[in-house]
Amino acid sequence: MTLLEVKNVVKQFDGHRALDGVSLEVPENSVYGLLGPNGAGKTTLIRIINCITAPDSGEVLLNGKRMTAEDVVHIGYLPEERGLYKKMKVGEQALYLAQLRGMTKKDAQKALKYWFEKFEIQTWWDKKVEELSKGMAQKVQFITTILHEPKLLIFDEPFSGFDPVNAEQLKREILELRDKGVTIIFSTHNMGTVEDLCENISLVDKAKVVLQGNVAEIRASHATNTYQILTKKALDVNGFELIESKQKNGIFESTIKKDLSDTNNLLLQRLMKQTEILSFQEILPSMNDIFIDTVTPKI
């Protein structure tokens, strides 16, 4: 089922078009990646979803109904450029932000107690924000974003400023939230996390969606017919192209490219005649490669 649907959204700024007919569908209870180079229009799109700015044309539907300002309560938004009041105490500030998102003081206190214990940061409650490191402040911001249990979470570069240990913890929390039924939209440049977390993506470039779909399907469709093969003997090039070959501890590792018309079995039959095959694996392009390939202007 689709939770959020963006339909043909156009946003024109003075002199340039930030979004040009962008459409996407975010299935419920999934992690959705919103990718794109800097200045592609991601932040504008997220602001439109959050009703911060209005689109010139097109619409945003939540649960099949046109979104209104009241529906924003169902969204938890962690912006890329995020800050906190430096002079305010952590606990006080978290309470304030939670109340602004419509929670009662009592509920907010209870929920904050739970999350502060989970993240083991109870001792920060009376600290001023300026005493926290960047990563610590990010944790507080993460908590305030998810505190009011929104149906839809939008994270813009959530891992920036985190060390690997904390980034891993954050990933676990995000997946845990998804398992509880929350839908998550990710905007990031980190393609590694996209492969790890996202089921579907939209790649936005120059105000337009240039690539969209299931991550696994996209990677398969970008397959270049390359395979990695481990064998006991060096391979004779016969009916395929050898890209690279190296020897390690008596095992030959070769990267080959087969003809498009050949099936995998046909290739294997040819290889089996030559030597014993230890491993055979198709090399799928990483999202990073696909990203670069898609947004780099073709000559």
Partner 1 sequence: MSKINLIIKREYTTRVMKKSFILLTFLTPLLLVGMIGLIVWMGGIKDDNIKKIIVIDQTNLYKDLLKSNESYSFEYVDKQIDTYKNNPDQIKEITALLYINGDLSKNPEAAVLYSEKQVNMELKSYISGQLNKYIEEQKLAAYNIPDLKQMVEKSRTDIDLKTIKWGEGGKEKEGSAELAMIIGMITAFIIYMFIVIYGAQVMSGVVQEKTNRIVEVIISSVKPFELMMGKIIGIALVGLTQFFMWVVLTVVISMVAGSVIGKNIDADTLQQVSQMQQMGMQPTSTQNLPPELQNLFSALTGMDFVKIGGLFILYFLGGYLLYASLFAAVGSAVDNETDTQQFSMPIMLPIIFAIYAGIFSAENPDGPLAFWCSMIPFTSPIVMMVRLPFDVPAWQIILSLSILILSFLGTTWVAAKIYRTGILMYGKKITWGEMWKWLKY
Interface region with partner 1, contact rule CB under 8 A, candidates 79-87, 221-229, 245-253, 263-271: 79-87
Q: Which stretch, 69-77, 184-192, 221-229, 250-258, contacts partner 1 (CB under 8 A)?
A: 69-77
Residue placing its CB nearer to partner 1 in the complex, 129 or 174: 129
Q: Considering beta carbons, is residue 14 or 120 the nearer one to partner 1? A: 14
Nearest to 252 by CA among 231, 268, 237, 236: 231
Sheet holding 16-27, edge to edge: 16-27, 2-13, 57-62, 65-66
141 binds partner 1 (CB under 8 A): yes
Q: Which CB atom, from 95 or from 271, has the smaller least distance to partner 1?
A: 95
Query: Does residue number 52 form part of the binding site for partner 1 (CB under 8 A)?
Result: yes
Minimum CB distance to partner 1 smaller for 11 or for 258: 11
Task: Out of 85, 241, 266, 296, point to the residue binding partner 1 (CB under 8 A).
Answer: 85
Interacting stretch for partner 1, rule CB under 8 A, among 72-80, 186-194, 237-245, 288-296? 72-80
**Among residues 102, 110, 223, 279, which is the contact residue for partner 1, using CB under 8 A?**
102
Q: How far is the CB of 76 from partner 1 (least distance, A)?
A: 9
Token output for 228: 């990695």
Strands 200-205 and 31-35: parallel
* Contact flag: residue 204 with partner 1 (CB under 8 A): no
Rounded Cα distance between 169 and 138, Å, is 13
Q: Which of 80/289 has CB closer to partner 1?
A: 80
Helix (H) or strand (E) holding 265: helix 264-274
- What does the buried/exposed string (b/e) look like for 276-294 if buried means 16 or more CB atoms within 10 Å of the residue's CB? eeeeeeeebbebeebbeeb
What single-letter DSSP state applies at residue 129? Answer: G
State how far the Cα of 56 lies from the Cα of 54, in Å rounded to an integer: 7
Total interface residues for partner 1 by CB under 8 A: 28
235 touching partner 1, by CB under 8 A: no
Contact call for residue 82 and partner 1 (CB under 8 A): yes
- Exposure pattern of 92-105 as b/e (b: 16+ CB <10 Å)? ebbbbbbeebebee
